[in-house]
A and B are shown apart, each in its own frame.
Chain A
Amino acid sequence: MHIPDGYLTTTVSVAAFAIVIVFWIISFRKIKLAEQQVPMMGLLTALFFAAMFANYPVLFGTTAHLLGAAVIGLIIGPFAGCISMTIILVLQSLLFGDGGITTLGANVLNMAVIGVFIPCALFYIFNKAAKPKSRGSILGMVFVSAFVGDLLAAVAAAVELSLSQGVFQYGLSVTLPAMIINHSIIGVAEGVVAVIMIGTLLKLRPDVLQSSPILGKLAIFENKTEVEP
């Protein structure tokens, strides 16, 4: 989903940068890390950079790789998650040519802002509404949040392409279905990985999740009740 240089018009690129700068400022101001989240931010940054190395087959001979934005956001919070994903995207662009320089704003907007904040907001809303106590319902919410986050990041990329009329002759009616069909499958993979990672931490390192600004709000942490199987 990394947009290279030349795919977007200057107007779309500048607009994306403008939105992203606002999110960077907010994230740097609002970020609050617990002691064990400091190495965790380093680990998640490295882990999901590495995860992008492995390309798995999707549909019609195409491949995809994990994004991990939802997992990062849910574990260390949306503000730290946005910075962590930004680090990945900046280094990928500058050192490895994965994603453009002029399109960095759009890539950060899709993957570090939408990819991180949407799953966190969704999980927050689900948690407020349902107050889940069982492991199954918590992980179900994780899956849906990660799936929707990935899908909306792809939708954002489609919107940016369709707005770049100087480059593309096609509108949203063409770009949107093209992205949504494959990203529905990629979103499922994203959701499954999110469930595996957060499920493992719930079992082995609940203290890491307890210090999360998002998962720490779960009733099992706030009331210190045992998680139901």
Chain B
Amino acid sequence: MANKKTNQKTIIVGLIAALIFVVLGVTVFSYALETFDVKAEELGAQEHQIWTAPFADYTVGGSDSQWIALAVGVTATLLLFGVGFGVAKVLKKRGKQ
């Protein structure tokens, strides 16, 4: 069984990989024209937004700045780690009871 240090190392390596994805996604692979959206629009579907997301298109106030997109991406990734970890911890604790 791996010790705590090995687990921490895996998490750090994994988070670095996640942040690399964010950097690549914001800088190199940022152009998005998803198959699903293209096909749905070709077939006549139209989006009817009922909620204005605070960070729509992973940016703030429609800004084109890569730095803002990067900051949103990094913060969101860390938030997702926190939420995922927190939920897992609660579920694990509940399982022990």
List the interface of chain A (C-beta within 8 A of B): 1-7, 28, 31-33, 35-47, 49-56, 58-65, 80, 83-84, 87-88, 91, 93-98, 100-102, 154, 157, 161, 167-170, 174-175, 178-179, 182-183, 186, 205, 207-208
Contact = CB atoms under 8 A, between A and B. Distances in A.
B88 to A, nearest CB: 4
Contact of A101 (B19, B30, B51, B84): B51
A170 B80 CA distance: 37
Contacts of B14: 43-44, 46-47
Given A83-B91, A95-B76, A97-B56, A42 B39 contact: no
26 contacts: A5-B51, A6-B48, A7-B45, A31-B95, A38-B89, A42-B11, A44-B14, A46-B18, A46-B81, A47-B14, A50-B18, A50-B19, A54-B25, A60-B38, A84-B84, A88-B80, A91-B80, A95-B53, A97-B52, A98-B53, A170-B44, A174-B43, A178-B42, A179-B39, A205-B10, A208-B2
A96 B57 contact: yes
A64 B34 CA distance: 6
A219 B33 CA distance: 43
Given A46-B81, A62-B33, A7 B21 contact: no
A154 B40 CA distance: 12
Interface of B: 1-2, 6-7, 10-11, 14-15, 17-19, 21-22, 24-26, 28-36, 38-40, 42-58, 73, 76-89, 91-92, 95
Contacts of B76: 49, 91, 95-96
Question: Which of B57, B73, B87 has its CB near the most chain A CB atoms (within 10 A)?
Answer: B87
A89 to B, nearest CB: 11
Nearest to A170: B43
Give me the 4 closest cross-chain CB pairs, A-B, nearest first.
A53-B25, A42-B85, A45-B84, A6-B48
B35 A96 contact: no
A87 B87 CA distance: 9
B15 A5 contact: no
Contact of B82 (A1, A42, A88, A94): A42
Given A1-B34, A63-B34, 20 more contacts: A5-B50, A33-B95, A36-B1, A36-B2, A39-B88, A41-B88, A42-B84, A46-B15, A46-B77, A47-B15, A50-B19, A53-B29, A95-B54, A96-B53, A154-B36, A169-B43, A170-B43, A175-B39, A179-B35, A179-B36
A87 B84 contact: yes
Nearest to B14: A43
Contacts of B28: 54
Nearest to B30: A55
A50 B22 contact: yes
A168 B53 CA distance: 26
Given A6-B45, A31-B91, A87 B80 contact: yes
Most chain B CB inside 10 Å of its own CB: which residue of A5, A36, A45, A169: A45
A178 B41 CA distance: 12
B15 A43 contact: yes
